[in-house]
Amino acid sequence: MEGVSYQRFPKVKIRELKDEYAKFELRDIDASMANALRRVMIAECEFCSVEFHLRAKCISDQTLDVTSKDLYSSDHTVVPVDFTDSAGFDSSEQRYLGGIIIVKLRRGQELRLRAIARKGIGKDHAKWSPAATVTFMYEPEIHINEDLMETLTLEEKQSFVESSPTRVFDIDPNTQEVVVVDPEAYTYDDEVIKKAEAMGKPGLVEIYAKADSFIFTVESTGAIKASQLVLNAIEILKQKLDAVRLSEDTVEADDQFGELGAHMRGG
């Protein structure tokens, strides 16, 4: 309908954030956009290209260990990974502890090289994906029919609780009531619903998936921080959405963006 806006205003709540791990809630958004964000994090966030140089020559009778620490970049902020132990041990005699050995040189031998790390994305090859795992689940909403639950004996309540493969429910030791302890542990297996029906108590529990609320878990490979991975994916997704809006060729946009393109145009 002309003049009607379907614009939504997603909300994000961070639950846990570490360098290589992030868990957050994404609300007021539909599944197509949530899945698009997940796919972009896995397949379309790219690495930056970097060039390293190395020049080493052995001028003594002692074998020279050439390691990754001998690599240097024109960008002083880019350095090889340091494998020095937690105590910082890295003596000249055992400097290999601080880097990966590339080659061993004897007197008079020399090595010169240029190493190029090429930029790529996970869609081209998994080795370029900065994401280890990216998953999301619908946030479950669980309602217990307290009146029906009160008609069960303690043994029946225990049997109901144990029917769930994961620890979603438990029995309060004080009130002897069945309570929801971890709704996110529910795997949409319907086991507790089947158990209630088998006990002759249909409707004992009702479980719904919130259609506009998702829980994301993001793990990076360590190439970039998990938080940066999410931000990069959002920026890439924004560019894609702008391209859909500005596209004058509907067929071409559908070929490139599929259901997302049709969704953006209200089709």
261 close to 37: Cβ distance less than 8 angstroms = no
171-208: pLDDT as tens digits: 999 999 999 999 999 999 999 999 999 999 999 999 99
Q: Please give the average per-residue pLDDT across 168-172, as a whole number.
A: 95
Rounded mean pLDDT of the chain?
Answer: 84
Q: Please give the average per-residue pLDDT across 3-14, as a whole number.
A: 78
Which is higher by pLDDT, 240 or 252? 240
Percent of the chain with pLDDT over 90: 58
How far is residue 94 CA from its own chain's centroid?
A: 38
Q: Please name every residue paired with 169 in a beta bridge, in sequence order, or none if there are none.
A: 180
Residue 4 has pLDDT above 90, yes or no: no
Q: How confident is the model at residue 95 (pLDDT cuts 50, 70, 90)?
A: very low
Q: Please give the average per-residue pLDDT across 230-256, as a whole number.
A: 76
Determine the pLDDT at residue 149.
94
Phi, psi of 206 (to 5 degrees): -125, 130
Percent of the chain with pLDDT over 70: 82
Residue 97 has pLDDT above 60, yes or no: no
Q: Please give the average per-residue pLDDT across 54-72, as a whole number.
A: 91
How far is residue 145 CA from its own chain's centroid?
A: 36
Residue 80 has pLDDT above 90, yes or no: no
Provide the pairing of β-strand 50-57 with 101-105.
Answer: unpaired
Which is higher by pLDDT, 29 or 124? 29
Which is higher by pLDDT, 239 or 46? 239
Determine the pLDDT at residue 195.
95
Q: How far apart are CA 162 and CA 219, in angstroms?
A: 31
What sign does the dihedral 71-128-261-241 (CA atoms) show?
negative
Residue 118 has pLDDT above 80, yes or no: no
Determine the pLDDT at residue 267.
47
121-150: pLDDT as tens digits: 888 888 778 899 999 999 999 999 999 999
| Helix, strand, or coil (residue 56) | strand
Q: Please give the average per-residue pLDDT across 45-52, as a whole number.
A: 75
The pTM assigned to this predicted structure is: 0.64
Q: How far apart are CA 144 and CA 164, in angstroms?
A: 14
Q: Please give the average per-residue pLDDT across 36-46, as a whole number.
A: 91
Residue 87 has pLDDT above 60, yes or no: no
171 close to 177: Cβ distance less than 8 angstroms = yes
Residue 96 has pLDDT above 50, yes or no: no
Tell me the two tokens of residue 208.
């719904």
